[in-house]
Amino acid sequence: EKLGLGRAATEAEVAAWDLDVFPDGSNLPEGSGDVFTGEEVFAEHCAVCHGDFAEGVGNWPKLAGGEDTLADDDPLKTVGSYWPYLSTTFDYVRRSMPFGNAQSLSNDDVYAIVAYILYSNYLVDDDFTLSKETFLDVDMPNADGFFVDDRPETEYPVFTERCMENCKPGAVEITKTVVFKGDPNAGASADEVETSAPAASDEAAAPAVEDAAPVTVAFDAELAEKGEKVFKKCKACHKVGEGAKNGVGPMLNGVWERAAGTVDGFKYSKPMMAAGEDGLVWNAETLSGYLADPRSYLKGNKMSFAGLKKDADIEAVLEFLKSHSQ
């Protein structure tokens, strides 16, 4: 029996949220994108994590390669080698990418990115344009590689024996011992950590931020709090606060009044290093300029971020960064 709770959804509301695209291409939006455009869009929005050729950076997903590896010991599962439906790629890029700035891409850009990912997997030619009309022309190599869960037939009838006595012949022997003996965060060579200096505990005792600024930077706590919210757009790549480490971008503790390109252990672009050597220091003026339009402020730098459009957002995020430069 209906309780009459809730209200009717409007068409605009349904259209705003109902983005899912099906394997048969239904619910695809209007628009199109070609490989050539895709390469540019991909370089701008995706390459920082997925690599210029969709080959992946660090632990971030590889989107290309891996053909004929699925039966290997360590299969490489990419859009090309594993994903059965092209709709999945379109759907996911449109709703969830770029990481940290989801749903910021136009439908044309999504088509273009997907076209480029296909090209990176040698699944289309360089003159290919992806749209509603061409969507089903693309053959996904692993489309037939899946079967519906068959555990009820292959496993459940077999896994029924409850032996209580003499269940194994011969003596029980260890066949494998644990790979990571201690705290798994100590790394692959847990044994080495005990003998090599500095020990993990020494590291923790050392100042977390080697560039702890001698001067205190005054900041507006309320505005900094607003800036923390704006910083959500940044934190997919930049860490800040206690124990912050370099990620896709350098950690930002103490960024205030720091020379550009000088955080230890981060691989900066050449233009960023050069700018730092030429005297670029991060302050209200330089950071405002950089964050408003990262690409044109410093041509050729690595940060793939479109920029903050609102001055108020920039002001707030600067205050937030100040608060982490104490």
Partner 1 sequence: EGDPLITEVQDWAAGLGDGVDATPYGMPIEFEDHVIRRTVEWLTADTISSINFTPIHALDGTITPQGCAFERHHSGAITLRKEDYRLMINGMVDTPLVFTYEDLERFPRVTRTFFLECAANTGMEWAGAQLNGAQYTHGMIHNMEYTGVTLRTLLEEAGLDAAGDLAGKWVYVEGADASSNGRSIPMEKALDDCMIAFKANGEALRMEHGYPVRLVVPGWEGNMWVKWLRRIEVMDKPVESREETSKYTDTMADGTSRKWTWTMDAKSIITSPSPQMPITHGKGPLVITGLAWSGNGAITAVDVSLDGGVTWQEARLAEPGKPMALSRFYLDIDWDGSEMFLQSRAMDDTGYVQPTKAQLREVRGLNSIYHNNGIQTWHVNAEGEANNVEVS
8 A C-beta contact, residue 235 and residue 100: yes
CB 42 within 8 A of CB 54: yes
Residue 29 tokens, joined: 């939006």
Task: Decide if residue 12 touches partner 1 (CB under 8 A).
Answer: no
Q: Is 201 in the site for partner 1 (CB under 8 A)?
A: no
Which of the residues 32 through 71 are near partner 1 (CB under 8 A)?
49, 58-60, 70-71
Select 97 or 209, whichever has its Cβ closest to partner 1: 97
Residues near partner 1 (CB under 8 A), total: 83
Q: How far is the CB of 322 from partner 1 (least distance, A)?
A: 23
Q: Site residues for partner 1, window 288-307 (CB under 8 A)?
A: none
Is residue 266 within the footprint of partner 1 (CB under 8 A)?
no
27, 21 Cβ separation under 8 angstroms: yes
**Site membership for partner 1, residue 168 (CB under 8 A):** yes
Rounded to the nearest angstrom, the gap between the alpha carbon of residue 54 and the centroid of all alpha carbons in its chain is 12
By CB under 8 A, residue 73 contacts partner 1: yes
Whose Cβ is closer to partner 1: residue 94's or residue 324's? 94
**The one segment of 21-29, 40-48, 201-209, 261-269 that binds partner 1 by CB under 8 A:** 21-29
Could you report how far apart the first and last alpha carbons of the chain are, in Å?
61
Verify binding: residue 84, partner 1, rule CB under 8 A: yes
- Out of 99, 271, 288, 289, point to the residue binding partner 1 (CB under 8 A): 99
Q: Which stretch binds partner 1 (CB under 8 A): 117-125, 179-187, 297-305, 309-317?
A: 179-187
Q: Site for partner 1 (CB under 8 A): which residue of 30, 127, 139, 163?
A: 163
Q: Are 313 and 286 in contact (CB under 8 A)?
A: no
Which residues, 109 to 148, sit near partner 1 by CB under 8 A?
145-148
Q: Which of 30, 125, 179, 205 binds partner 1 (CB under 8 A)?
A: 179
- The answer for residues whose C-beta is within 8 angstroms of residue 203's C-beta and 6 or more apart is none
Taking CA 19 as the corner, what is the angle to CA 2 and CA 42, rounded to the nearest 5 degrees? 160
In angstroms, the CA 248 to CA 112 distance is 24
The letter for the amino acid at 178 is V
The residues near 260 (Cβ < 8 Å, ≥ 6 apart) are 272, 273, 275, 276, 280, 281, 282, 286
Considering beta carbons, is residue 17 or 285 the nearer one to partner 1? 17
Q: Does residue 2 bind partner 1 (CB under 8 A)?
A: yes
